[in-house]
Amino acid sequence: MPDPTTHTEILIVGAGLTGLSIADALIRAGRNVLVIEGRDRIGGRIMTAEIADAAFDLGPAWFWPGQPRVAALAQQLRLEVFEQFSEGRLVFEGADRAVRRDLNMAPMAGSLRLAGGLSGLTTGLATRIGDDNIRTGHRLTAISSTNGKIAAEIDSSEQITITADQVILAAPPRLLEANFDFTPHLPAAARQEMRATPTWMAGHDKIIAVYPRAFCRDAGLNGDAMSHRGPMAEIHDASPNDGSCGALFGFVGVPAVQRRNKDQLLTAAKAQLASLFGPEALIPTDIILQDWAIEDLTATKDDEVPPTSHPAYRPIDSLANLWRGRLHIVSSETAATYGGFIEGALEAAEVKVAELLSQ
Ligand SMILES: Cc1cc2nc3c(=O)[nH]c(=O)nc-3n(C[C@H](O)[C@H](O)[C@H](O)COP(=O)(O)OP(=O)(O)OC[C@H]3O[C@@H](n4cnc5c(N)ncnc54)[C@H](O)[C@@H]3O)c2cc1C
């Protein structure tokens, strides 16, 4: 653990894909870097649960052809890529409870997954970065700049301060704006734009039901379902590619404020799965619910109502050259092309690293 007087050349706050990717590149370029992470785990929105030797993504699950950086990183880390299961029919449930099982559709066909889950990306990067350079359970609570040095106040098992020449806040802009004070204050335009930038998927709730086998496929169903009734609005196959078990996952369509009773929600979700996919779906061996809207290191109150479509993310001009170029704010939401996606996290990281190494 760093002592109360620790100094580092570059402090990176946030061990999500953006922060880890920046740290990895800077360390390879010979820079002195320390990563701190508020949670007790790395990965941020990338989170994979292990159940009975199988991996299930509770945050992102997919990337897509045409996203070069994720594909390249997966290849470097020797992670196995496989296609989302898409053979068979989709189930449609109307608001009137009527169920159709005759639709030859697979909305996620062609999307790609990683065997072992997407956390293979973040654990692979963390291994390269090394334990000595990453501190989990270290939450930034305040940040200030005096005489060309930045001081970061950290809440861990004890209160510590880390000073740095440069600080990279690798977390969603909206979250950072809401969570602590910057001294001196950020310009009003920057604060306004940070608040106005939705954190992608932060208001969502994902349920994963695990079964001994992918039984839906026996009936010619691909595991996809669309529902106007709920509680899950959109369901997809989440089975591992080795066939060791079956799984379905769904995004809950109920707004964040109305889904506080977890037990009720899980009971309703199981009943819905059974009405869509048959009685075998009523008795999963495991069922997990991950509500991102209540994670205070991901979502703010403003994220409780998610955007209805993918926002047009772009670099935020008012975040350029903060504190004479010593303070940086970067996450997938600041990427120019793939903002919001894991590809965007790598894209934003790549741009920031190029900027830092050119100084
Ligand atoms: C349910 C869900 C489904 C998704 N599905 C997909 C998908 O299928 N495909 C896709 O491409 N993308 C998807 N996404 C989006 C994807 O997860 C993000 O684009 C990506 O993970 C963002 O990485 P990041 O490092 O920029 O941010 P984050 O992962 O949010 O990382 C920020 C890190 O900063 C830490 N942090 C924050 N504040 C502090 C503090 N004060 N002190 C210390 N640490 C702090 C956080 O704990 C976190 O670890 C999904 C997201 C969710 C939630």
| Domain assignment of residue 268, yes or no | no
Q: Ligand 1: which atom is nearest the Cα of residue 341?
A: 11
pLDDT of residue 181: 84
Q: How many helices (H) and strands (E) does the chain have?
A: 7, 19
Tell me the pLDDT of the chain averaged across its residues.
96
For ligand 1, atom 32, the nearest C-alpha belongs to 171
Render 257-280 in DSSP notation, one character per residue.
Answer: GG---HHHHHHHHHHHHHHHH-GG
Render 50-62 in DSSP notation, one character per residue.
Answer: EETTEEEESS---
**Cα separation, 60 vs 238, whole angstroms:** 12
The boundaries of the domain holding residue 318 are 1-46+118-199+308-359
In this structure, what token pair is assigned to residue 202?
A: 């932060």
pLDDT of residue 2: 47
| Domain assignment of residue 337, yes or no | yes
For ligand 1, atom 21, the nearest C-alpha belongs to 45
pLDDT digits (tens, 9 = 90+) for 30-71: 999 999 999 999 999 999 999 989 999 999 999 999 999 999
In this structure, what token pair is assigned to residue 53?
A: 């030797």
Q: Confirm or reject: Cβ of 332 under 6 Å from ligand 1.
A: yes
Determine what percent of the chain is predicted with pLDDT higher than 70: 99
Whole-number Å distance, alpha carbon 242 to ligand 1 midpoint, is 27
Q: Ligand 1: which atom is nearest the Cα of residue 36?
A: 43
| Domain assignment of residue 212, yes or no | no
User: Whole-prediction pTM value?
Assistant: 0.97
pLDDT of residue 141: 95
- Whether the upstream peptide bond of residue 184 has omega within 30° of 0, thus cis, is yes
Residue 261's φ and ψ, nearest 5 degrees, are: -90, 95
Q: Which residue has the higher pLDDT, 4 or 192?
A: 192
pLDDT of residue 147: 84
| Domain assignment of residue 324, yes or no | yes
Number of domains comprising the chain:
1
Q: How sure is the predictor about 178, in pLDDT bands with cuts at 50, 70 and 90?
A: very high
pLDDT of residue 258: 87
**Cα separation, 203 vs 186, whole angstroms:** 26
Whole-number Å distance, alpha carbon 257 to ligand 1 midpoint, is 21
First to last CA, the chain: 30
pLDDT of residue 5: 64
- Whether the upstream peptide bond of residue 198 has omega within 30° of 0, thus cis, is no
pLDDT digits (tens, 9 = 90+) for 203-229: 999 999 999 999 999 999 999 999 999
In this structure, what token pair is assigned to residue 150?
A: 């930045």
pLDDT digits (tens, 9 = 90+) for 295-321: 999 999 999 999 989 999 999 999 999
| Domain assignment of residue 137, yes or no | yes
CATH of the domain at 325: 3.50.50.60
According to DSSP, residue 198 is labeled P
Mean pLDDT for the stretch of residues 248-254: 96
Chain centre distance of CA 27: 23
In this structure, what token pair is assigned to residue 69?
A: 């950086």
In 3D space, the residue among 37, 356, 13, 61 whose CA is nearest the CA of residue 173 turns out to be: 13
In 3D space, the residue among 217, 199, 225, 197 whose CA is nearest the CA of residue 341 turns out to be: 199
Q: Ligand 1: which atom is nearest the Cα of residue 18?
A: 25
For residue 68, the SS3 value is helix
**Cα separation, 228 vs 238, whole angstroms:** 21
Q: Confirm or reject: Cβ of 306 under 6 Å from ligand 1.
A: no
**If you search the block for the tokens 């900027």, which residue do you land on?**
355
Whole-number Å distance, alpha carbon 42 to ligand 1 midpoint, is 10
Q: Ligand 1: which atom is nearest the Cα of residue 111?
A: 8
Q: Confirm or reject: Cβ of 172 under 6 Å from ligand 1.
A: yes
Mean pLDDT for the stretch of residues 98-115: 97
pLDDT digits (tens, 9 = 90+) for 109-152: 999 999 999 999 999 999 999 999 999 999 999 999 988 889 99
Question: Of all helices (H) and strands (E), which one includes residue 42?
Answer: none
Q: Ligand 1: which atom is nearest the Cα of residue 67?
A: 11
Chain centre distance of CA 281: 27
Q: How sure is the predictor about 260, in pLDDT bands with cuts at 50, 70 and 90?
A: confident
Q: Confirm or reject: Cβ of 13 under 6 Å from ligand 1.
A: yes
pLDDT of residue 33: 98
User: By the 8 A CB rule, do 212 and 195 touch?
Assistant: no
Which amino acid appears at position 13 of this protein? V
Ligand 1 pocket test, pick from 17, 45, 251, 288 with the greatest ligand atom count within 8 Å of Cβ, gives: 45
Ligand 1 pocket test, pick from 201, 300, 333, 350 with the greatest ligand atom count within 8 Å of Cβ, gives: 201
pLDDT of residue 4: 54
CA torsion, ordered 275, 276, 281, 284, to nearest 10 deg: -100
pLDDT of residue 156: 87
Longest dimension (CA), the chain: 68
| Domain assignment of residue 21, yes or no | yes
Pairing assessment for the beta strands 205-211 and 246-252 based on DSSP bridges: antiparallel
Q: Ligand 1: which atom is nearest the Cα of residue 343?
A: 11
User: By the 8 A CB rule, do 213 and 283 touch?
Assistant: no
| Domain assignment of residue 234, yes or no | no
| Domain assignment of residue 153, yes or no | yes
For ligand 1, atom 39, the nearest C-alpha belongs to 38
